[in-house]
Chain A
Amino acid sequence: MLRLRTGALIAAAAIAFAACSGAATAAPSAAAPSQTPVVAPSGSTAPASVAPSGGTPVNGGTWIFGSASDPATLDAILIQDGESFRIAQQIYETLIKLKPGSSSVLEPGLAKSWDTSPDGLTYTFHLQTGVKFSDGTAFNADAAVYNVNRWKNLPAALQGDDYYDVTVFGGYGANSLIKAVTKIDDATFSMTLTKPKADFLTAMTLIPFAMQSPTALQAHHADLGSKAPTNDYWQKDPTGTGPFMFSEFVPGDHYTIVKNPNYWDTANAAHLDKIIFQPIAVSANRLTALLSGTVDTIDFVDATQLAQIQSNPTLQLITRPPLDIGKLAFNQTVKPWNDIKVREAAAYAIDKTALVNAFFPNGAGTVADSDLINNMPAYQANAAISGFDLSKAKSLLASSSCPPPCAVTFWYPDSVSRPYMLDPKGEYEAIKPMLEAAGFAVTPNHKPWHGGYLTDEANGVYGLFFIGWIYDYADPADGPGLFYATSTADCNGVKEPTPHNCEFGEDNPAVAAAMAKAISEPDAATRTADWQAAMLLINADVPAVPLVWAGSSLASTIHVHGYIPSPTQSEYFNLVWKDAGS
Chain B
Amino acid sequence: MLKYIVRRLLLLIPILFGLSLFIIVFVHALPGDPCSSILGEHTSPERLAACRQGLGLDKPLYEQYFDYMNGLFHGNLGTSATDRVPVLTEFVARFPATVELSLAAMAVAIGIGVPLGIAAAKRQGSVFDNVATVGSLIGISIPIFFLGLLLAYVFGVWLHWLPTAGRFNLRIYDFSKAGTNFLLWESLVINRNIPEFLDVVRHLILPAIALGTIPLAVVARITRSAVLEVLNEDYVRTARAKGLTNRRIDRRHVLRNAMLPIATIIGLQTGLLLGGAVLTETIFAWGGVGSWLFQAAVDKDFIVIQSGTLILAILFVLVNLTVDVSYAYLNPRIRYS
Q: Which residues of A contact B (CB under 8 A)?
A: 1, 3-13, 62, 64, 66, 69-70, 72-73, 78, 80, 159-161, 163, 166, 225-227, 229, 235, 247-248, 250-254, 256, 276, 278-282, 284-285, 288-289, 291-295, 415, 447-455, 457-459, 467-469, 482-483, 485, 487-491, 502-503
Known A-B contacts A10-B282, A250-B287; the reply to A78 vs B84 at CB < 8 A is yes
Residues of A within 8 A of B49 (CB): 489
Structural contact, B287 and A161, CB atoms closer than 8 A: no
| Complex Cα–Cα for A66 and B286 (A) | 13
Residues of B within 8 A of A276 (CB): 170
Structural contact, B163 and A294, CB atoms closer than 8 A: yes
Structural contact, A160 and B48, CB atoms closer than 8 A: no
- 1/0 per residue B272-313: CB within 8 Å of A? 000000010111111110011011001110000000000000
In the complex, whether B38 has a CB less than 8 A from a CB of chain A is yes
Q: Which residue of B lies closest to A486 (CB)?
A: B44
Known A-B contacts A483-B42, A502-B44; the reply to A455 vs B36 at CB < 8 A is yes
Q: Which residues of B contact A (CB under 8 A)?
A: 30-51, 54, 76, 79-80, 82-86, 90, 93-94, 97, 145-146, 149, 152-153, 156-157, 160, 163-167, 170-171, 175-176, 181, 279, 281-288, 291-292, 294-295, 298-300
Residues of A within 8 A of B171 (CB): 62, 64
Q: Which residue of B lies closest to A459 (CB)?
A: B45
Structural contact, B291 and A281, CB atoms closer than 8 A: yes
Residues of A within 8 A of B288 (CB): 252
| Complex Cα–Cα for A64 and B168 (A) | 13
| Complex Cα–Cα for A289 and B163 (A) | 8
Q: A288-B149, A291-B156 are in contact. List 8 more A-B contacts (CB 8 A).
A: A10-B279, A252-B97, A254-B287, A279-B287, A415-B298, A452-B36, A455-B33, A489-B46
Structural contact, A292 and B163, CB atoms closer than 8 A: yes
Structural contact, A451 and B97, CB atoms closer than 8 A: no
Structural contact, A73 and B33, CB atoms closer than 8 A: no
B160 to chain A, nearest CB (A): 6
Structural contact, B160 and A72, CB atoms closer than 8 A: no
Known A-B contacts A72-B84, A294-B165; the reply to A7 vs B48 at CB < 8 A is no
CB within 8 A of A467: which of B35, B41, B79, B299?
B41
| Complex Cα–Cα for A503 and B167 (A) | 45
Known A-B contacts A6-B37, A285-B149; the reply to A458 vs B156 at CB < 8 A is no
| Complex Cα–Cα for A295 and B288 (A) | 20
Structural contact, A252 and B292, CB atoms closer than 8 A: yes
Structural contact, A450 and B300, CB atoms closer than 8 A: yes
| Complex Cα–Cα for A279 and B149 (A) | 17
Structural contact, A6 and B298, CB atoms closer than 8 A: yes
Residues of B within 8 A of A490 (CB): 45
A160 to chain B, nearest CB (A): 4
- Residue contacts A-B, CB under 8 angstroms, 10 given: A4-B40, A62-B170, A70-B83, A159-B54, A226-B80, A254-B170, A284-B149, A294-B164, A455-B36, A468-B41
Structural contact, B35 and A226, CB atoms closer than 8 A: no
